[in-house]
Amino acid sequence: MHTILCIEDVTELRQDIAEELQEAGYEVLQAGDGEQGLEMIVEHKPDLVLCDITMPRKDGLQLMKEVRDNFPLLADMPIMLLSALSDQQRILDGLKQGADAYLTKPINFEYLLTKIDASIRQMVNIKHKNEKILVLDI
């Protein structure tokens, strides 16, 4: 079972997302802000992070940059940003700063689950290829 960390400061929305992900078969961890989210990333090393952008203490872009810059073993972890900020420039900026996806609110859960499934499938394929390369190198 794959683990997803949902970082969202709006409790009701975070719980709705977690419920949808659990119903889809994922183990879900929850954090209410970027600081708590970063701690949980380091501690639990989830398979994917779903993160709001606008949050107290540390926003989603700051969290993503910190993970990508300061935790090399976690830098390839898929991070999907969620935001009500839906203008094209903000979406492009989020993707250019390292997001694997930028999803806008209100959330289309079918689309969200499809993007998550694709990211996790890609991550699993990359891990398998890397494991094969390591075996061949030995």
pLDDT in tens, 80-94: 999 998 889 999 999
Of the pLDDT bands very low, low, confident and very high (cuts 50, 70, 90), residue 129 is confident
Sign of CA dihedral 96, 97, 100, 101: negative
Looking at the structure, give the CATH architecture of the domain made up of residues 3-137.
Answer: 3-Layer(aba) Sandwich (3.40)
What's the predicted TM-score (pTM) here?
0.89
pLDDT computed for residue 124 by the predictor: 82
pLDDT in tens, 39-71: 999 999 999 999 999 998 899 999 999 999 999
Q: What is the 3-state secondary structure (H, E, C) of the chain?
A: CCEEEEECCCHHHHHHHHHHHHHCCCEEEEECCHHHHHHHHHHHCCCEEEEECCCCCCCHHHHHHHHHHHCCCCCCCCEEEEECCCCHHHHHHHHHCCCCEEEECCCCHHHHHHHHHHHHHHHHHHHHHHHHHHHHHC
Of the pLDDT bands very low, low, confident and very high (cuts 50, 70, 90), residue 4 is very high
The answer to whether residue 138 scores a pLDDT higher than 60 is: no
